[in-house]
Amino acid sequence: ETFDAAGLHILPGAIDVHVHFRDPGYTHKEDFESGTAAAAFGGVTTVFDMPNTLPTVATGAALAQKHAVAAAKACVDYGLYAVLGEESLDHLPDLIAGGIIGFKLYMGNTFGRIPSPSTGAMLEAFERVAPTGLRIALHAETNSIMERRQARLAASGRSDPLAHLASRPAVVAVEAVARAAILAEWTGARIHVLHISSAAELAPLRDARARGVDVTGETCPHYLLLGTADYARCGGVIRVNPPVREADNHGPLWAALRDGTIDMIATDHAPHTPEEKTRADIWAVDCGFPGVESQMPLMLSGVAQGHYSVCDYVRWSAENPAKVFGLHPRKGAVAVGADADFAFVDLARRWTLRDADLQSRSKISPWDGRAVTGLPVHTMVRGRFVMRDRALVPGSAGFGRSVHPLQSMPPAQPRHQDQSLAAVTAQRPEAAE
Ligand code: NCD
Ligand code: ZN
Ligand code: ZN
């Protein structure tokens, strides 16, 4: 097979560790086929799908059902998260055996109404996952703080989009990151802080790392590039959890990416329909917007502007995600033995993002009309084109394969584990796996 790559750069395909493809259960918003087509158009060759689908991925049966759906429809490779919470504690051996990329723990409320575990249940969950070496990804927002503020704001009659921001001030995330890091330090569990939105969260993240906690972090293009000034332009469309914050967070977030405090870029691709996004009710649960398709052009625009190098971008978009989730060097690398997962990009191409052109079923985002520089022209997964000349290659649906950590990573050393509790836990049959 011959093809024209003249003038194009060949980059490792991006690995987006945070997408919501809504399948099964909410396929009017997205499904595995439309979501992975969006990924292919965005130069993304591997995605990790979140478990807040229907049924919630909290049992071996629900995981098997999602594996079947994804295997039939996916155009790119994928990892599946399982929920970690009180509803899944008795199913951990089944979930681990069923093939997951990691666990997702919701400390704050989210689409799909997954209950947030108490701190006690979190400690138990961390203790039980730690020996597997699997990473626990955290939606780090403290429910009790934000629900109380939401109730006060709703009672005051405030219903502008900025009330959503006011209900989730950065302290909601800071408290959650600090608490999760303490539990990780105590148990040796590996954790990953999802969607870092504020400068304030960086302090507990840096402190935890300095104490030896295996904690990693991601931020998303909307926290780096959008600010409160965009609320007037976007209205309810910009509503996302955590909220887009004041622009003075941008400098510290970019600095944290450069110095490695934040390991990677993910998108939190969270599609909803235009009707759901433009409802007058600002307390509606349909937060988030599609992002998997626009991440690469948005971030390559910073390369074109000379803010960072294309190698920096590849580290944030492919290499670090693969390393953090145990897929390197099969994924996220250009090396002997690596999968041929490539984005062929025109780094100089100027174009405009348009919601109407999105592959995602959710054609509504804050990026509509944004000028970018950098276009994924072809996308290759394991040596096969899935997107070519900005068209989906027929027959790509079903080509995507599930990915798992290459080897079960050895557990980090618990620093403070309560030996008497560990002995009790070890007697449980399900903990003996
Ligand atoms: C996500 C969704 O819609 O599933 N929404 C969001 O605003 N980010 C849930 C989440 O990531 O918390
Ligand atoms: Zn989240
Ligand atoms: Zn999310």
**Ligand 1 atom 4 nearest Cα:** 111
Give the pLDDT mean for 226-245: 96
pLDDT score for 409: 59
With bands split at pLDDT 50, 70 and 90, how would you rate the model's confidence at 429? very low
Give the pLDDT mean for 179-185: 98
- Is the CB–ligand 1 distance for residue 146 below 6 Å? no
pLDDT score for 280: 86
- Is the CB–ligand 1 distance for residue 114 below 6 Å? no
Mean of the per-residue pLDDT values of the chain: 94
Query: Cβ(253)–Cβ(263) under 8 Å?
Result: no
- Is the CB–ligand 1 distance for residue 52 below 6 Å? yes
* Tens-place pLDDT, residues 236-264: 999 999 999 999 999 999 999 999 999 99
Cα(52) to centroid of ligand 1, in Å? 9
pLDDT score for 414: 66
Contacts 24+ apart (CB under 8 A), 391-396: 392/37, 392/40, 392/41, 392/75, 392/359, 396/37, 396/40, 396/75
Burial class (CB in 10 A: 0-12, 13-18, 19+), 351: middle
Query: Cβ(15)–Cβ(315) under 8 Å?
Result: no
Amino acid sitting at position 407: Q
Residues 6+ away with beta carbon under 8 Å from 157:
none
Cα(25) to centroid of ligand 1, in Å? 15
**Ligand 1 atom 10 nearest Cα:** 110
Q: Which atom of ligand 1 is nearest to the CA of 20?
A: 4
With bands split at pLDDT 50, 70 and 90, how would you rate the model's confidence at 107? very high
* Tens-place pLDDT, residues 24-79: 999 999 999 999 999 999 999 999 999 999 999 999 999 999 999 999 999 999 99
- Is the CB–ligand 1 distance for residue 331 below 6 Å? no
- Is the CB–ligand 1 distance for residue 222 below 6 Å? no
* Tens-place pLDDT, residues 308-354: 999 999 999 999 999 999 999 999 999 889 999 999 999 999 999 99
* Tens-place pLDDT, residues 274-283: 999 999 888 8
pLDDT score for 413: 63
- Is the CB–ligand 1 distance for residue 218 below 6 Å? no
Q: How many CB atoms lie within 10 A of CB 212?
A: 12
pLDDT score for 282: 87
- Is the CB–ligand 1 distance for residue 287 below 6 Å? yes
